[in-house]
Amino acid sequence: MSVSYRKDMFWLAGLFIVLMLTPTILPNNYYLTIMILGCLHAMIAVGLCLLVGHAGQISLGHAGFYGLAAYTSAYLSTTWGLPVELSMLAGVVLTVVVSILVGMPSLKLKGHYLAMATLGFGIILSILFTETVDITGGPSGFVGIPRLSLAGFELHRDVDIFRVVAILLCLLVWLCFNVLHSRMGRALRALHTSDQAAQAMGIDVARHKLFVFVLSAGFAGLAGVLYAHYLTFIAPASFGFMFSVELMVMVVLGGMVSVPGAIIGAFFITILPELLRAFEDIEIILFGLILVVCMIFLPDGLAGGSARLWAWVKTKLALGCSRG
């Protein structure tokens, strides 16, 4: 195994330990709620990181996949009374199937055109969530979704849900690292630089792009079903165009190519508004300002920034030691 793979695995182990210890240091459910939402956002962000950062394809439609899975699982478990585990599986599977159907024609498009196609798809879905009132409950939301359960046991406590979500996040990150360190990962980097060059090297560009697109949609789908059964309520407003944009912000702010960065970005964007709550009406101004300042001063994102900070601390420490 390569050095960088081992490094990634160390990072993953660190993430796992931190997440498992988190509930013991959090004073109450309020913080747990933030952490659960952070984990869900991080799930989508790592998938998007693969798509945007490594395959070089933009998507502004992932909120749609997130919502599609959430609504499917909510509908099957609530209206049809299917077991929660089965509905969740169906939600993810449907999302994967739809993403294949959407991805095949869309991924032939490039750059801004692809952004528009995925954006349009996301908007169409969000209109469907709003207008098919008989199925989705319409704009005021889908109520009475059963709580997440595993093997027939309902998870009443938020702590249990957090553990499930955190473990799943770690699994997805593990999957990402393995994809990146496989032949696939190298192929993706090649096609990020140039489609044509990759094609000339004998890489099946279309298939690789589609694979990553579907993988990231599947991640969003998993996050979506977990979200629906954690909150037990969903509304179309959570799956709109703005959330797709927010997801992109998480990835780019994280540093785009870095999986840990995407996770940091997701938690940052989830937690920041809560930290700024005390500022009331100027919260949104500060949020915009912080976003701009971060992007200006950390061109390689939070991941790059923290790496540089760490390097700086290390040299300072080394200096201090050598002097001492």
Partner 1 sequence: MSFLTVIDFSSLLQYLITGLTLGSIYGMTALGFTIILNSTGVINFAQGEFVMLGGMMSVYFMTALGLTEPVAVVLAVLGTTVIGALVERLAIRPVRQSPAINLVIITIGVSILIRGLVMFFWGKDTHVLQSFSGDTPIMFLGAAIMPQALWVLGVSAFLLVGFKFFFSKTLHGKAMLACSFDVKAASLVGIGVERMVLLSFMISAFVGAVGGVILAPITMTSYDVGVLLGLKGFAACILGGLGNPFGAAAGGIVLGILESLGAGFISSAYKDALAFVILLILLFAKPSGLFGQKDSKRV
Partner 2 sequence: MNRGKSLFLVIVLLFFCATAWAETIKIGAVVSVTGAASFLGEPQKNTLLQLQDLTNAKGGMDGRQVELIIYDDESDVNKCVMAARKLLDQDQVAVVIGPSISGNTLAITRFFSSAQVPLISCAAAEKIVFPVNPWIFNTPQLDRHAALKILQDAKVKGYTKLAILTVSDGYGQAGRAVLKELAKAQGFDLVADEVYSPKDTDMTSQLTKIKGVSPEAIICWGTNPGPAVVARNRMQLGLTIPLYMSHGVASDKFIELAGEAAEGLVLPAGRLTAVDQVPDDHPQKTVITDYVANYSQKFNAPISSFGGYAHDAFLLVHEAVTKGGSANPEDIRDNLEKISALPGTSGIYSYSPDNHNGLDEDAFIMVIIENGTWKVVP
Residue numbers at the binding site for partner 2 (CB under 8 A): 27-30, 33-34, 37, 130-131, 133, 138-141, 143, 231-235, 237-238, 273-274, 277, 280-281, 283-284
Among 2, 24, 196, 322, binds partner 1 (CB under 8 A): 196
Return the one option of partner 2, partner 1, none that residue 138 interacts with (CB less than 5 to 8 A, by type).
partner 2
186-218 b/e (C-beta count within 10 Å ≥ 16 → b) = ebbbbbbeebeebeeeebebeebbbbbbbbbbb
Our CB check for partner 1 shows the closer of 56 and 146 to be 56
| Other C-beta atoms lying within 10 Å of the C-beta of residue 91 | 27
CB 91 to partner 1: min, Å: 22
Return the one option of partner 1, partner 2, none that residue 97 interacts with (CB less than 5 to 8 A, by type).
none
Q: Which among 242, 239, 236 has a CA at the least distance from the CA of 139? A: 236
Contacts of 311 (CB under 8 A, 6+ apart): none
| Other C-beta atoms lying within 10 Å of the C-beta of residue 282 | 10
Q: Select the span of 112-120, 168-176, 216-224, 305-313 touching partner 1 (CB under 8 A).
A: 112-120
Reduced to 3 states (helix: H, G, I; strand: E, B; else coil), residue 193 is helix
Reduced to 3 states (helix: H, G, I; strand: E, B; else coil), residue 149 is strand
CB 169 to partner 2: min, Å: 17
φ/ψ bin of 157: left (φ > 0), alpha (ψ from -120 to 50), beta (otherwise): beta
CB 54 to partner 2: min, Å: 28
Does position 241 interact with partner 1 (CB under 8 A)? The reply is yes
Among 105, 152, 320, 324, binds partner 1 (CB under 8 A): 105
Our CB check for partner 2 shows the closer of 95 and 126 to be 126
Between CA 260 and CA 268, with CA 265 as vertex, the angle to 5 degrees is 125
Please tell me the distance from the alpha carbon of residue 274 to that of residue 79, in angstroms, as a whole number: 34
Could you tell me whether strands 149-150 and 153-154 are parallel, antiparallel, or unpaired per DSSP bridges? antiparallel
Our CB check for partner 1 shows the closer of 150 and 200 to be 200
CB 206 to partner 2: min, Å: 36
CB 291 to partner 2: min, Å: 16
Our CB check for partner 2 shows the closer of 207 and 277 to be 277
| Other C-beta atoms lying within 10 Å of the C-beta of residue 89 | 15
Strand partners, 234: 142
Interacting residues with partner 1 between 280 and 319 (CB under 8 A): 281-282, 284-285, 287-289, 291-292, 295-296, 299
CA distances from 221 to 12, 95, 212 (A): 22, 6, 14
Site string for partner 1, 51-90 (x = CB under 8 A): -x-----x--------------------------------
Q: Which among 141, 139, 153, 147 has a CA at the least distance from the CA of 226? A: 147
For partner 1, the binding residues (CB under 8 A) are 52, 58, 105-106, 108-110, 112-113, 115-117, 119-121, 123-124, 127-128, 131, 194, 196-197, 200, 241-242, 245, 248-249, 252-253, 256, 281-282, 284-285, 287-289, 291-292, 295-296, 299
